[in-house]
């Protein structure tokens, strides 16, 4: 399939590093023209399925203003800079939000959140042999609680809709699949250069 031809592009909103919006006039391969097609880019982030030595996995519960409700999720956070690796962000956020560290890490891939609008990605990781190394150390904008759940509880939380963010749902299902013995499964997503055990 051929890409669309960009005829013109106009910036609409620029709030780095949080959000950039622009519109494009584009011509499709069949000649059809779409005017003011909206595109956007927000910050990439990393999320972690951390398997503790006792077989449980930490989740964080916190208010999400975009959703307007409390959300139950895998520990996650934004990449701090454009050149920070997803793995570095994942390690940092797991320890900051839960006080948990882990010696063995595996990429589950980098998933595009909305391919119609942009290339913003959620990078997913499985951390094994995780242990509590200390207390969470949150910044002033964070207020969350940490809870620990068995894999069967996690699956129930996903299937019941209690966990409903795309990154957390994908991370949980991919990690559970891998832990069930599908060890040869490669990471998903085109930008998963940190695949394999880390």
- pLDDT per position as a tens digit, 53-70: 999 999 999 999 999 999
Assess if residue 188 is contained within a domain.
Answer: no
pLDDT at 182 exceeding the cut of 80: no
Quick one: 24 and 84 in the same domain?
no
116-139 pLDDT, tens digit each: 999 999 999 999 999 999 888 888
Let me know whether 26 and 48 are in one domain.
no
Residue range 165-175: mean pLDDT, rounded:
97
pLDDT, averaged across the chain? 91
Same domain? For 54 and 17 the reply is no
d(CA 22, CA 13): 7
* Residue 194 is assigned to a structural domain of this protein: no
For residues 175 and 126, membership in a common domain is answered with: yes
Check whether 33 has a pLDDT greater than 60: yes
Q: What is the pLDDT of residue 184?
A: 46
Q: Are residues 103 and 168 in the same domain?
A: yes
Same-domain status, 18 and 59: no
Please indicate, yes or no, if residue 68 is contained in any of the structural domains. yes
For position 135, what pLDDT does the model report? 87
Asked if residue 32 and residue 56 are part of one domain, the reply reads: no
Pair of tokens at residue 157? 């939380």
User: Does the pLDDT at position 191 exceed 50?
Assistant: no
| pTM for the whole structure | 0.88
pLDDT over 70 percentage in the chain: 91
Residues 32 and 52 in one domain: no
Stretch 166-178: mean pLDDT, rounded? 97
pLDDT score of 195 more than 60 = no
Cα separations (Å) of 170 from 30, 31, 65, 118?
35, 37, 21, 19
The mean per-residue pLDDT over the stretch 33-49 comes to: 97
Provide the phi-psi class of 133: left if phi over 0, else alpha when psi is between -120 and 50, else beta: alpha
11 and 96 fall within a common domain: no
Q: Where do we find the tokens 């959000």? A: 19
Reported confidence tier of residue 143, pLDDT bands at 50, 70, 90: confident
Domain count within the chain:
2
What's the pLDDT score for residue 196? 52
Task: Give the pLDDT of residue 81.
Answer: 87
14 and 93 belong to one structural domain: no
Q: Are residues 22 and 50 in the same domain?
A: no
Domain coverage including residue 30: 5-41
CB 138 within 8 A of CB 96: yes
Q: Is the dihedral of CA 160, 164, 166, 169 positive or negative?
A: negative
Q: Which of 88, 83, 80, 93 is nearest to 168 (CA)?
A: 93
- Asked if residue 147 has pLDDT above 80, the reply is yes
Neighbours of 113 (CB within 10 A): 16
């Amino acid at each position: 399939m051929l890409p669309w031809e960009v005829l013109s592009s106009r910036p609409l909103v620029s709030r780095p590093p949080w959000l950039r919006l622009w519109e494009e006039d584009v011509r499709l391969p069949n000649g059809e023209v779409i005017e003011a097609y909206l595109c956007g880019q927000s910050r990439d982030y990393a999320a972690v399925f951390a398997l503790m030595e006792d077989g449980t996995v930490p989740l964080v519960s916190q208010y999400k203003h975009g959703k307007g409700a409390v959300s139950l999720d895998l520990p996650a956070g934004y990449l701090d800079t454009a050149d920070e690796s997803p793995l570095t962000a994942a390690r940092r956020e797991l320890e900051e939000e839960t006080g948990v560290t882990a010696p063995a890490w595996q990429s589950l891939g980098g998933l595009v959140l909305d391919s119609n609008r942009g290339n913003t990605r959620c990078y997913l990781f499985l951390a094994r042999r995780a242990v509590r190394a200390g207390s969470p150390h949150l910044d002033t904008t964070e207020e969350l609680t940490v809870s620990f759940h068995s894999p069967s509880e996690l699956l129930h939380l996903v299937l019941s809709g209690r966990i409903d963010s795309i990154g957390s749902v994908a991370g949980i299902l991919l990690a559970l699949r891998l832990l069930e013995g599908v060890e040869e499964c490669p990471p998903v997503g085109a930008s998963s250069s940190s695949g394999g055990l880390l």
